[in-house]
Amino acid sequence: MERVVKFLKDAETYYLATVEGDQPRVRPFGTANVFEGKLYIQTGKVKDVSKQIHANPKVEICAFKNGEWLRVAGTLVEDERIEPKKAMLDAYPSLQSMYSAEDSNTEVFYFKDATATFSSFTKEPETVKF
Ligand SMILES: Cc1cc2nc3c(=O)[nH]c(=O)nc-3n(C[C@H](O)[C@H](O)[C@H](O)COP(=O)(O)O)c2cc1C
């Protein structure tokens, strides 16, 4: 999983796909943090993306860097504890002007049953499960 997190951080931006009914939705995301051995992402409860995840937690993300792309498909699980929120905001100090671990908006999710696939035009895909 460390390789997955490093790829996401090096790419800086990944695209998070959710579903809303039968309509895919996708947007840029950047947060990725390992806490207690799990890959967490962060959002705000006021956002449509949050509402979509709560309605259907199956998501996929995609990032591209140096001719290689990574897809991570899995199920997001909300973690309401302060500690993973604080760890996330410590990892992304720029978010601290908009979010705090104690506010009613900040939320973090970790990936469960995730399948990460590294692909390129020159090599066979490699799959990692975590
Ligand atoms: C480079 C980049 C990174 C972003 N990272 C995040 C993120 O980690 N979490 C988040 O909630 N929004 C992030 N955003 C903002 C979301 O893309 C934006 O709020 C989007 O509209 C949310 O999707 P929604 O409109 O479907 O709710 C980022 C935006 C950009 C441009």
pTM of the model: 0.97
Please give the average per-residue pLDDT across 37-60, as a whole number: 98
Gap from CA of 122 to ligand 1 centroid (Å):
31
The predicted structure's pLDDT at residue 33: 97
Q: What is the Å distance from ligand 1's center to 28 Cα?
A: 5
State residue 124's pLDDT score.
Answer: 97
Predicted pLDDT of residue 22: 96
* Ligand 1 atom 21 nearest Cα: 27
Predicted pLDDT at 92: 97
How many CB atoms neighbour CB 5 within 10 A?
15
Q: How confident is the model at residue 47 (pLDDT cuts 50, 70, 90)?
A: very high
- pLDDT band at residue 102, thresholds of 50, 70 and 90? very high
Average pLDDT, the chain: 98
The pLDDT assigned to 25 comes to 98
What pLDDT, on a 0 to 100 scale, did the predictor assign at position 114? 98
Expressed in angstroms and rounded, the spacing between residue 29 Cα and the centre of ligand 1 is 5
Atom of ligand 1 nearest to the CA of 18: 26
Nearest CA to ligand 1 atom 11: 43
Q: Which residues line ligand 1 (CB under 6 A)?
A: 13, 25, 27-31, 42-44, 47-49
